[in-house]
């Protein structure tokens, strides 16, 4: 049930600009986050290149968002239209931006460890049979993707955590999920250092999963599921 | 922060099967929901056919889930493997199932109306500039999709409601969203009755949007965002 | 070996515009072909609608070709660029145009028959084991496509005729082939008259294959393969 | 016109196995070709890795072809079926095999040169305005592809040479073409040596185009077009 206070807040928000966007003109403006990739499993050249790729996606996403403000919506059609091109590439670049941010943040802990009483551990054990089963399935997803991503996410339909393998940035993507663990398996992530040995790269990255960062995401899902249960 | 009670509950859940799945052997088993499509804008033959399509997706999704229990994960690779085929088609059929459920539930109100003090109205006005701007953008998405879906969803990255156009069931899909309004724009949804006139079909369906159903989804997003703010 | 005469002709052609394009300014201008679909297995409304769809693809293809004359090639990139959008949609609409033309021309013979001494029959028998095996495989392709096409084509790599199933107009497409038999299995081709019963539609169309038209395509492949052996 | 001799030959071929496949049981068996990549613009590690990738595609393509001999065609459907998985991956791996073969063969000449009286030069000049215009357009295609290929090919519909950009191995692919110039722009082709600088990689490879190999492909197209004119 929404309360009177909720209604007041909502009305206020619908009149005033949202607090975290006060200085912006367009609907969304992505801002680059600074990442310091500490891992020794990737070369400095690879890490520098990867951050620059991410910056490129930010730039494109902002340009697309800006163009979408004024593109002709009446002329939209599925065969060829400016609107369609922008929307398709908006999703492509937006996924690229956020999946990279989630990835950079979760592969960066030289002293990585997970404890059995963590939410991450217990949730993965619950939904995959055991933590080890999750690991095997996640690695299988990493190996199955054709230049893309493996992702563990909370699925709002099945009401459980699932793994998925995405091609490129926006193909074969579940349409209703909250990501908690993300692995970049585009060839750009590992070819400099591992050539086609994607499995060695993936296992190396998993050894440096930042389970503190991941735990916070699992905690958020826990809060979400409680809120949905109402 | 997770409390002691949370921990107890979590441990309990990780040991016992989840309450809503007690009778199931596999990880997920989709069960068909009954839908009675009241709309007069679609022929009886079309509606019957559409429900049968949905049942077909349910059946395939369950078969795939079952096969995934035992498929060889070690042999997974991106060029061709049983695991990859199953995971790609799992996403395809799962999206088909849930997007159909969301669609059937939200296009079914002969006395459709939305009030300006509803959460739906205020949120769409806030994030699209005005309710009318949302409508124009949503119709543009419907026209832009190549056999697929238009969807209004809450985006966990931009922290706002956005429209997107999906091709087929799983291409050009945002990877982190909670759907609130869904329109089927596969040709199977309208060709029997409207042939290529997708716009007339879409406007007809929008006239029967069930804003009560949709409002509950917006309320859930409101609870989610409050929970995430924590 | 190219002869002196060849060289003269080639030089002449590289200086003068090609004879079949003398009046055109742009690189390619698709012109609509008239089709009179005689089949009684499709309703008049369906046939009229289908021809109009085809005309839409022609129009888009010509607009894209025209825009490609002057688009900025230096600014091309894979994340988002006018050049990429145009090239991707050029292929989409061009495939749509030509596959429709091949389809309309080959499903239109009320007195359809194939003789065992025809090139079509013998080639299909040679490369698929028997004519009947080709039929079964072709129908399987029609049923496997997700809104798209089934196509029998001569494959320049395997040096044999193969069947393939295309999604939409340009996904899962062999990159080196000469089409000889084409079936439209987009839902737009059959939903008005058959709803989801794609198999009944396909079998009906196959009963009206114009084997005279198809034979000429097989003869062309025969001339091509002889020329390549040359 | 097909002659009596043609008919005899054709009947003979439909009874006996084709001469180049006499020892094979399955419809097609791809055999690996040896490639010695002489270029100094790629590291030895990169070249070795690339050949191994190609061998992997050969292996998968043969396995898929073999499975297709006996897969259940009656059970084929578009949502999920063994037949569909095999056909989609057959095209993916087959394109990978042949495009790699065309690429390896055409980027390998340390003393690369093209003369203005070559067929290659004159045809590209004729269909793109000038040889230089073809170059600019081809480079734009290389930059536009999302992990995939740029290809110059003879298009049987437009009756001219065109450039296209393919994503992965089988997306955005023209359905009726004969390839003459092929560039691998998957990240696996250049990341080891060039990281994200695809343009420098492409220009380096183009400096070593083997125009003798390419010329033979243009000659074949010339023979094909003469044969089609009949």
pLDDT single digits (tens) B38-69: 998 999 999 999 999 999 999 999 999 999 99
- Which three-class secondary structure string do you get for chain D? CCCHHHHHHHHHHHHCCCHHHCCCCCCCCCCCCCCCCCCCCCCHHHHHHHHHHHHHHHHHHHHHHHHHCCCCCCCCCCCCCHHHHHHHHHHHHHHHHHHHHHHHHHCCCCCCCCCCCCHHHHHHHHHHCCHHHHHHHHHHHHHHCCCEEEEEEEECCCCEEEEEEEECCCECCCCCEEEEEEEECCHHHHHHHHCCCHHHHHHHHHCCCCHHHHHHHHHHHHHHHHHHHC
Question: Looking at the predicted structure, is the pLDDT value of residue D7 above 80?
Answer: no
Specify the pLDDT at position B28: 75
Q: Are B80 and D57 a contacting pair at CB < 8 A?
A: no
Q: Are A123 and B14 a contacting pair at CB < 8 A?
A: yes
Closest residue of C to B193, CA-based? C192
Please answer whether residues C64 and C104 qualify as being in contact, where contact means their C-beta atoms are separated by less than 8 angstroms.
no
Specify the pLDDT at position C21: 38
C195 touches B: beta carbon within 8 Å: yes
Residue identified by tokens 């955590």 is: A161
Decide: residue B129, CB within 10 A, 0-12 exposed, 13-18 middle, 19+ buried: middle
How many C-beta neighbours within 10 Å does residue D228 have? Answer: 15
Question: Looking at the predicted structure, is the pLDDT value of residue B199 above 90?
Answer: yes
Longest dimension (CA), chain D: 59
Question: Looking at the predicted structure, is the pLDDT value of residue B1 above 80?
Answer: no
Mean pLDDT in consecutive groups of 10 residues from the start of chain A, 230 residues:
63 50 54 91 96 97 97 97 98 98 95 95 97 98 98 98 98 98 98 97 97 98 94
The whole-model pTM stands at: 0.91
Which residue positions in chain C have pLDDT lower than 50? 15-26
ipTM over 0.85: yes
Closest residue of A to C63, CA-based? A80
A contacts of D167 (beta carbons < 8 Å): 168
Specify the pLDDT at position B207: 96
Query: pLDDT tens-digit profile of C118-172?
Result: 999 999 999 999 999 999 999 999 999 999 999 999 999 999 999 999 999 999 9
**Nearest Cβ partner for A196 among D49, D146, D168:** D49
Mean pLDDT over the full length of chain D: 91
Q: How far apart (Å, rounded) are the C-alpha atoms in residues A89 and B59?
A: 33
Determine the residue among C76, C77, C80, C93 to mutate to test chain A binding: the one whose Cβ has the most chain A Cβ atoms within 10 Å. Answer: C80
B92 touches D: beta carbon within 8 Å: yes
What is the DSSP code (8-state) at residue C27?
S
Torsion of the alpha carbons at D181, D187, D190 and D196, rounded to the nearest 10:
120
Q: Would you state the structure tokens that stand for residue B223, as one six-digit string?
A: 């609870």
Q: How far apart (Å, rounded) are the C-alpha atoms in residues B202 and B217?
A: 21
Q: Would you state the structure tokens that stand for residue C176, as one six-digit string?
A: 């080196």
Specify the pLDDT at position B82: 98
- Considering only A41-50, A76-85, B74-83, D21-30, which range has the smallest mean pLDDT? D21-30
C contacts of A80 (beta carbons < 8 Å): 60, 63-64, 85, 89, 92-93
Closest residue of D to B53, CA-based? D79
Specify the pLDDT at position A154: 98
């Amino acid at each position: 049930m929404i309360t009177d206070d909720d209604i007041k807040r909502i009305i206020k928000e619908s009149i005033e600009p949202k607090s975290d966007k006060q200085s912006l003109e367009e609907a969304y403006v992505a801002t680059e986050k600074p990442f310091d990739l500490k891992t020794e499993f990737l070369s400095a050249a690879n890490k520098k290149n990867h951050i620059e790729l991410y910056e490129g996606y930010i730039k494109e996403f902002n340009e697309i968002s800006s163009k979408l403000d004024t593109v002709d919506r009446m002329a939209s059609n599925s065969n060829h239209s400016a609107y369609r091109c922008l929307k398709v590439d908006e999703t492509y670049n937006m996924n690229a931006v956020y999946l990279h941010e989630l990835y950079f943040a979760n592969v960066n802990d030289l002293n990585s460890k997970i404890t059995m009483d963590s939410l991450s551990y217990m949730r993965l054990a619950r939904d995959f049979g055991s933590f080890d089963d999750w690991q095997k399935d996640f690695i299988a997803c990493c190996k199955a993707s054709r230049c893309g991503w493996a992702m563990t996410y909370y699925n709002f339909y099945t009401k459980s955590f699932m793994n998925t393998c995405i091609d490129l940035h926006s193909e074969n993507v579940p349409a209703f999920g909250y990501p908690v663990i993300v692995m970049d398996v585009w060839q750009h992530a590992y070819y400099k250092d591992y050539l086609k040995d994607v499995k060695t790269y993936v296992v190396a990255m998993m050894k440096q999963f930042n389970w503190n960062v991941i735990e916070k995401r699992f905690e958020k899902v826990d809060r979400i599921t409680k809120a949905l249960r109402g």
